[in-house]
Structure 1
Amino acid sequence: MAKVTVRYWAAAKAAAGVADERYEAATLADALAAVRERHPGELARVLRRCSFLVDGDPVGTRGHDTVRLADGGTVEVLPPFAGG
């Protein structure tokens, strides 16, 4: 399993109560399941609307179970942004 940093932004950061956390996970799906387990309330709801970057690359519509995580990598949790 890879050791990754999950970094929260905007509403996700507010719901988590921290800017980032460390997790061990093989895939993005595994990491998000661990996040939901640790934060079953508001953050779990916010995650449904988020997009994700893994090591700077957008995940887009790829299945989260197909996105492999690298040891030392970063998952960015990006809620929808308003404005333009």
Structure 2
Amino acid sequence: MAVGTIRFWAAAKAAAGTAEEPYTAGTLAEALDAVRERHPGELTRVLQRCSFLIDGDPVGTRGHETVRLAEGGTVEVLPPFAGG
């Protein structure tokens, strides 16, 4: 298990009620399961539309259970947004 930080942006930040929180997880799937347990409701719906960066690298279409998290790493939760 790795310990790191999850950062929420835009609608995810509003739904979580916080800009960031720690994670203790081995994979992105485990970290997101814990987030859903801590923040049931709107954030769970927002996460379905989000993209994710792990230490600055996009997750893309990889299965979240295959994305390993590093000790001291950062998960960025990015909802869809518009603008330029």
- Give TM-score scaled by structure 2 length: 0.98
Name the counterpart of 2:51.
51
Determine what percentage of the aligned residue pairs are the same residue: 81
Task: Give structure 1 regions of 4+ aligned residues with deviation exceeding 6 angstroms.
Answer: none
Structure 1: tracts of 5 or more residues without a match? none
RMSD (CA atoms)? 0.6
| 1:22-37 pair list within 5 angstroms | 22-37=22-37
Deviations 1:13-54 (A, max 9, x none): 000000000010000000000000000110010000000000
Name the counterpart of 1:72.
72
| 1:12-31 pair list within 5 angstroms | 12-31=12-31
Q: How many residues align?
A: 84
- Give TM-score scaled by structure 1 length: 0.98
Structure 2: tracts of 5 or more residues without a match? none
> Quick one: which amino acid aligns to residue 15 of structure 1?
A
1-structure distance, mates of 2:3, 2:69: 8
1-structure distance, mates of 2:62, 2:41: 25
- What is the deviation of 1:4? 1.4
- What is the deviation of 1:82? 1.2
